Amino acid sequence: MTTPHDNHELPVSYEAAGVSIEAGDKAVELFAPLAKKASRPEVRGGLGGFAGLFALGKYKEPLLAAGSDGVGTKLAVAQAMDKHDTIGIDLVAMCVDDLVVCGAEPLFLQDYIAIGKVVPEKVAEIVAGIAEGCVQAGCALLGGETAEHPGVMDPEDYDVSATAVGVVEADELLGPHRVQEGDVVIAMASSGLHSNGYSLARHVLLERAGLPLDGHMDELGRTLGEELLEPTRIYALDCLELASECEVRTFCHVTGGGLVGNMERIIPEGLVAQMHRSTWTPGPIFRTISAVGSVPREEMEKTFNMGVGMVAVVSAADRDRALAILAARHVDSWVIGEVRAAAEGEAARAALTGTHPQH
């Protein structure tokens, strides 16, 4: 009979407890070349240090902006499809597109990957997506951490999060304080669901309707899985270009809470962002979720972006110039509304009226 004392005499290793240092080292070896592509001239040192170093340039009065986020239950789709090379783009997008709302240029990002069991090739796929997202955003992947969590997570499970840091001159800070009556509200098209509302989307499409991820759907023009894994569009460089060429008052990143919920965060008291559904038609994935799940319009609009991923509030004089700049950058954009004075006793600071065009 083996006693507890006898068990203590048996040789034990970290790997026997579920953590493989060798697998972690192999993962670093695979993703290091990918991460090096996501750099900037201000980066000092290289991968492997205890801290990432970034030389902040000369500014008159720099304000650092920082934001952290993850990608939510979109990860469940990536895991079900065993496709992990785009989820990192979503991660970067959710962080850097929050930064540019105030006019901040994303400088660098650090990621955190928690995983049940390190499979080097799988981790390399995840980091490849993060690096690609950083390239699209013009920021450096300054470092990160991969942590193996045996016994806490199932071997195939993982979660990702990141923190991005940017900078903006104090006198160039965008926000509600700049918004004026008569300003124009310009919408920028999303690439789909982006990274919000996946708990509802999965519940409707996969759990209730039982639709297969690998099944082709004519209304989507591809498989359901391909649609659900479409990466979030990164608008950072588009927004920075727009702000440098036009009188931009502020931006609005449309994420959880929908268009109205997020717009109310950037419109000051006394003003209303009046937006019109008649100016655009939500993409087929939104119509599919609504139809298959009998989801009311109000629930759809407070859960999903409904085809609008980013909004710019610009001066009326710069309306046409702003649209031309976005078109040149291949961003589908349109005037969705305007900023007007609030009526006496009117509480809402953002309003969406009318109906979408029928298809």
Residue 8 pLDDT class (50, 70, 90 cuts) = low
193 lies in the same domain as 334: yes
Q: What is the pLDDT of residue 325?
A: 98
Range of the domain at 232: 176-353
Distance of alpha carbon 153 from alpha carbon 135, whole angstroms? 30
Instruction: Judge if 327 and 224 occupy the same domain.
Output: yes
pLDDT at site 10 = 52
For position 280, what pLDDT does the model report? 97
C-alpha 132: how far from chain center = 13
Question: What's the rounded mean pLDDT across residues 263-274?
Answer: 94
The answer on 166 and 28 residing in a single domain is: yes
Residues 186 and 160 occupy one common structural domain: no
Instruction: Specify if 12 maps to a domain.
Output: no
Per-residue model confidence (pLDDT) at position 73: 94
Confidence of residue 20 (pLDDT cuts 50, 70, 90): low
CATH number at residue 21: 3.30.1330.10
- In whole angstroms, what is the distance from residue 122 CA to residue 125 CA? 5
Mean pLDDT, residues 3-20: 53
User: Is the model's pLDDT at 97 over the cut of 70?
Assistant: yes
Contacts for 324 with CB less than 8 Å, ≥ 6 apart: none
> What is the number of alpha carbons within 13 Å of residue 193 lying toward its C-beta?
29
274 shares its domain with 308: yes
pLDDT at residue 90 is higher than 80: yes
- pLDDT tens digits along 165-186: 999 999 999 999 999 999 999 9
| Segment 287-304, tens digit of pLDDT | 999 999 999 999 999 999
Q: How confident is the model over 132-142, as pLDDT tens digits?
A: 999 999 999 99
Q: Is the pLDDT of residue 322 over 90?
A: yes
294 three-class SS: coil
Both 277 and 241 in a single domain? yes
Binned at pLDDT 50, 70 and 90, residue 2 comes out as very low
**What one-character-per-residue DSSP string does 103-155 give?**
TPEEEEEEEEEEESS--HHHHHHHHHHHHHHHHHHT-EEEEEEEEE-BTTB-T
- The tokens describing 226, both together, are 């391909």
Residues 281 and 219 in one domain: yes
Q: Name the residue type at position 252.
A: C
Same-domain status, 279 and 186: yes
Does residue 49 have a pLDDT over 90?
A: no
* Mean pLDDT, range 12-24, rounded to an integer: 54
Average the pLDDT over each of 144-158, 219-233, 302-316, 339-353 and give the range with the smallest value: 339-353
**Between 32 and 143, where is the model more confident?**
143
What is the rounded average pLDDT of the residues 92-121?
Answer: 95
Its pTM surpasses 0.85: yes
Q: Is residue 74 part of a domain?
A: yes
Task: Examine residue 343 and state whether it is found in any structural domain, yes or no.
Answer: yes
For residue 223, pLDDT over 80 is answered with: yes
- Average per-residue pLDDT in the chain? 89
Whether 130 and 212 map to the same domain: the answer is: no
Look at 35-49, 59-73, 100-114 and tell me which has the smallest mean pLDDT. 35-49
Count of other CB atoms within 10 angstroms of residue 64? 12
Residue 28: band (very low, low, confident or very high) from pLDDT cuts 50, 70, 90: low
Structure tokens belonging to residue 28: 């670093």
Are 132 and 25 in contact, with CB atoms under 8 Å apart? no
